[in-house]
Structure formats: C-alpha cells, structure tokens
C-alpha cells in the first residue's frame, strides 16, 4: 500500500511540473520610478546604496525609437568614485565608430557572441542606457528575457540607466553619419565631467 501511495504522489508531482509555464508579462519599465523604489527599499532596510556609476564593460543604448546600439570599453580595474553632490559621468572619449547597431530581431544572438568575457566571469556589468525614461519596446523586453535566462546569457549583473550626455551626442553623430570631432563639440559642462 505504501508503494502505491508513493507512486501516486510521484505521478501527481510529475504532472504538476509538466503544466504549461505562465508567460512573463511585458510590463512597462520606468527608470526614474525603479530608481525611486530601489532607493526607498534600501532606506527601509537601512542598507547604504552602492556607489553610483555610469559605465561598465558592455553597453546597450536604446534610442528614442527603440533601436539598440552596442559598445564596449576596455577593462580597467579602476573604481571612480562619483561625488554624491555632483554626480556627473566622466568623458570617456566615445566615438560614433564605437557604436554598432543591433538588428532588433537578433539581440540575444548578438549579445551571446559579443558580450565581454569578464561579464560572463561575473567581473563586470552590462549597462543598458535609454534615451527615454519609459521602456516598453519589444526589443527591450526581448533583451530582458535574454538577460534573465542566465544559462543562455551568462550575464549576472546589469544596470539600467538614462543615457549620458556624451552617449546622446555620439549617437546623434552616428545616426546622422556626421563627421565627429570631440574637441569641436560644445559640451554641456553641467552634464559631463572632464578629467585633466
């Protein structure tokens, strides 16, 4: 009798695990709201926030149309502390040629082949930067599904933020196929920090 109960329990457990998985809903992601919510959770838990940063090894930029662009930076084991009073991103000498447009239907395949090895070794961060505060495009949701499937993506850490002034300017030059000379740009010094 005990064997039959065990067998019945095993079969019912097997059948429950074979039910169709629920699809994850595509919910609108609002960067400023998520930042506020995360800050509130940290304050309630009395956990200090991580130091603010803007750049990682691998970056995805989402423009105002929802198109995706990719760039990587060389690995530097340097932590640049950002002043809380004046949290400006540093000038990184990004160029239009550094940006690669990703076809929206191949985001996962592109990242599998091009994600920095150090990110896969959990020594770096994938940064997703958006020109818009609200993210609701199909390409964004596909990107998030891919990232959350760790077995496929091997991306353990990611950050979602707004684009920096430099990224916005360089992207404009890239999309309009304009000659770019960083020294001739009238940079908004209230949005970017230049180190001597």
On whether the CB atoms of residues 30 and 68 are closer than 8 A, the answer is no
Q: Determine the pLDDT at residue 9.
A: 40
Neighbouring-strand partners of residue 25: none
Give buried/exposed letters for 161-183 (b at 16+ CB in 10 A, else e). bebbbbbbbbbebbeeeeebeee
Which two tokens mark 193?
A: 């920090």
Rg (CA), the chain: 21
How large is the average pLDDT for residues 138-151?
87
Question: Which pTM was predicted?
Answer: 0.76
Strand residue runs (E) in the chain? 29-30, 58-62, 68-72, 100-102, 126-130, 134-135, 158-162
Q: What is the pLDDT of residues 20-69, one digit of tens each?
A: 433 445 778 888 888 888 888 878 887 776 666 678 888 999 999 999 99
Domain residue extents for the chain: 27-184
pLDDT band of residue 151 (cuts 50, 70, 90) is confident
Can you give the pLDDT at residue 179?
Answer: 96
For residue 12, pLDDT beyond 50: no
């Amino acid at each position: 009798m005990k064997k039959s109960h065990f067998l019945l329990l095993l079969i019912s457990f097997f059948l429950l695990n074979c039910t169709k998985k629920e699809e994850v809903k595509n919910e609108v992601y609002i960067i400023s709201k998520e930042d506020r919510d995360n800050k509130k959770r940290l304050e309630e838990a009395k956990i200090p926030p991580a130091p603010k940063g803007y750049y990682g090894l691998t970056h995805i930029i989402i423009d105002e149309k929802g198109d995706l662009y990719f760039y990587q930076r060389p690995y530097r084991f340097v932590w640049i502390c950002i002043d809380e009073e004046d949290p400006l991103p540093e000038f990184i000498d990004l160029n239009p040629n550094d940006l690669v447009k990703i076809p929206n239907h191949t985001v996962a395949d592109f990242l599998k082949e091009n994600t920095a090895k150090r990110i896969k070794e959990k020594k770096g961060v994938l940064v997703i930067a958006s020109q818009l505060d609200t993210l609701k495009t199909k390409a964004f949701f596909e990107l998030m599904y891919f990232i959350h499937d760790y077995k496929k993506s091997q991306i353990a850490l990611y950050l979602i933020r707004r684009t920096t002034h430099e990224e916005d300017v360089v992207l404009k030059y890239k999309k309009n196929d304009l000659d770019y000379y960083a020294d001739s740009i009238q940079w908004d010094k209230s949005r970017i920090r230049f180190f001597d």
